[in-house]
């Protein structure tokens, strides 16, 4: 059964050091099999990344849980996620905060993710088809920002969209043009009065953040909804 497998996954993550009980209960309640493509349904609760459409990946549950925990979320927070992909990370954030804003450059991925949010009745997720490197200026500032794709450096305009004392989590570094096989560091940035505090948290391997929209989808940024 789905529920049992998700509970088992949460137990595995707890053994691996994920201690935030709210994050663990989100892992238990969000069915990951909804976010993977048919051939991978049986692997949905394995602790591994899996391929999704458009040559992208759904992140490893451990990394999703780790990043969610590192965001130190409060139920009042408004969170920006860049790189919706399958939508799984946004779905995990949904019960942990007030509002999730998520941006994806591949329209087909976004449409699919929106359907999943609707199916699961995750009503506090809003979506946008656009370039995540621009953030979501109209909805800024955010309490938290999570980059779900790797950057060589965190763009200043994203830090600008963070509230004072806000936290940004991003996979930084590596050869982001050919990220497969090259690891990045999951980096925590805290915006303080004195500037930026930076901490390396975990070696990770994310697909790269790519500027602009894919060739077949060159349209202006479209705020969407679910
Ligand atoms: N959070 C996702 C992880 C998806 S992989 C999940 O849980 O499944 C990273 C995603 O970032 C991919 O879908 C990729 O298309 C997207 N991405 C890469 N560059 C982007 C950009 N500039 N703007 C928005 N999305 C981007």
Q: Which of 77, 84, 80, 96 is nearest to 30 (CA)?
A: 96
Q: Give me Rg for the CA atoms of the chain.
A: 16
Would residue 129 count as lying in a domain? yes
List C-alpha distances in Å: 79 to 91, 150, 179.
12, 18, 25
* Total domains, the chain: 1
Q: Which residues are designated catalytic?
A: 59
Cβ neighbors of 60 (< 8 A, separation 6 or more) are 47, 48, 49
Mean pLDDT of 13-23: 97
Cβ neighbors of 151 (< 8 A, separation 6 or more) are 133, 170, 171, 172, 176, 208, 209
Specify the pLDDT at position 193.
86
**Centroid of ligand 1 to alpha carbon of 67 (angstroms):** 15
Q: What is the CATH number of the domain that holds 120?
A: 3.40.50.150
Q: What are phi and psi of 135, to 5 degrees?
A: 70, -145
Higher pLDDT, 53 or 216: 53
Question: Is 70 exceeded by the pLDDT of residue 224?
Answer: no
Residue minimizing CA distance to atom 18 of ligand 1: 209
Would residue 22 count as lying in a domain? no
SS3 call for 39 = helix
Residue minimizing CA distance to atom 13 of ligand 1: 85
**Centroid of ligand 1 to alpha carbon of 214 (angstroms):** 12
Residue minimizing CA distance to atom 26 of ligand 1: 83
Read off the pTM.
0.94
SS3 call for 75 = coil
Would residue 53 count as lying in a domain? no
Would residue 165 count as lying in a domain? yes
CA gap 201, 80 in Å, rounded: 20
Mutating to test ligand 1, I would choose from 27, 40, 83, 91 the residue with most ligand atoms within 8 A of its C-beta, which is 83
Pocket of ligand 1 (CB under 6 A): 56-59, 82-83, 85-86, 88-89, 103-106, 109, 131-133, 148-149, 207, 209-211
Residue minimizing CA distance to atom 2 of ligand 1: 85
Question: Is 60 exceeded by the pLDDT of residue 104?
Answer: yes
Would residue 102 count as lying in a domain? yes
CA gap 186, 127 in Å, rounded: 24
Mean pLDDT of 82-102: 98
The pLDDT tens digits of the residues spanning 40-87 come to 999 999 999 999 999 999 999 999 999 999 999 999 999 999 999 999
Q: Ligand 1, closest atom to CA 86?
A: 8
Strand order through the sheet with 222-223:
195-204, 184-192, 162-172, 142-147, 78-82, 99-104, 125-129, 222-223
Would residue 36 count as lying in a domain? no
Please report, to the nearest 10 degrees, the dihedral formed by the alpha carbons of residues 199, 71, 156, 54 taken in order: 110
Would residue 28 count as lying in a domain? no
For 67-71, 189-193, 218-222, which range has the lowest pLDDT when averaged over its residues?
Answer: 218-222
**Centroid of ligand 1 to alpha carbon of 209 (angstroms):** 7
Q: Residue 179 — very low, low, confident or very high, per pLDDT cuts 50/70/90?
A: very low
Question: Is 90 exceeded by the pLDDT of residue 178?
Answer: no
Task: Look up tokens 């493509």; give the residue.
Answer: 37
**Centroid of ligand 1 to alpha carbon of 127 (angstroms):** 12
Question: Is 70 exceeded by the pLDDT of residue 102?
Answer: yes
Question: Is 80 exceeded by the pLDDT of residue 181?
Answer: no
Task: Look up tokens 């209960």; give the residue.
Answer: 25
Please state, as a whole number, how many other Cβ atoms lie within 10 Å of the Cβ of residue 162: 22
Whether the bond between 141 and the residue before it is cis, its omega within 30 degrees of 0, is yes
CA gap 207, 182 in Å, rounded: 10
Mutating to test ligand 1, I would choose from 35, 104, 222 the residue with most ligand atoms within 8 A of its C-beta, which is 104
Mean pLDDT of 192-197: 90
Would residue 213 count as lying in a domain? yes
Express as a percent the part of the chain with pLDDT over 90. 86
Specify the pLDDT at position 176.
47
Domain boundaries, position 75: 63-225
């Amino acid at each position: 059964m789905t529920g049992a497998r998700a509970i088992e996954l949460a137990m595995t993550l707890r053994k691996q050091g994920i201690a935030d009980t709210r994050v663990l209960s989100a892992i238990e309640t969000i069915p990951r099999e909804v976010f993977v493509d048919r051939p991978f349904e049986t692997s949905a609760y394995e602790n591994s990344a899996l391929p999704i459409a458009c040559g992208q990946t759904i992140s490893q549950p451990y990394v999703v849980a780790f990043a969610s925990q590192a965001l130190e979320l409060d139920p009042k927070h408004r969170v920006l996620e860049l790189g919706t992909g399958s939508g799984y990370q946004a779905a995990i954030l949904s019960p942990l905060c007030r509002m999730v804003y998520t941006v994806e450059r591949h329209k087909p991925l976004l449409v699919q993710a929106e359907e999943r949010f609707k199916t699961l009745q995750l009503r506090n997720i809003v979506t946008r088809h656009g370039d995540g490197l621009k953030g979501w200026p109209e909805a800024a500032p955010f309490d938290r920002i999570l980059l779900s794709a790797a950057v060589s450096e965190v763009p200043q305009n994203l830090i600008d969209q963070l509230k004072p004392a806000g936290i940004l989590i991003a996979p930084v570094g590596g050869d982001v043009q050919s990220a497969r096989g090259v690891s990045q560091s999951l980096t925590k940035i805290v915006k303080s009065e004195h500037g930026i505090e930076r901490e390396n948290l975990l070696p990770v391997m994310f697909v790269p953040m790519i500027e602009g929209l894919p060739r077949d989808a060159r349209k202006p940024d479209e705020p969407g909804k679910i």
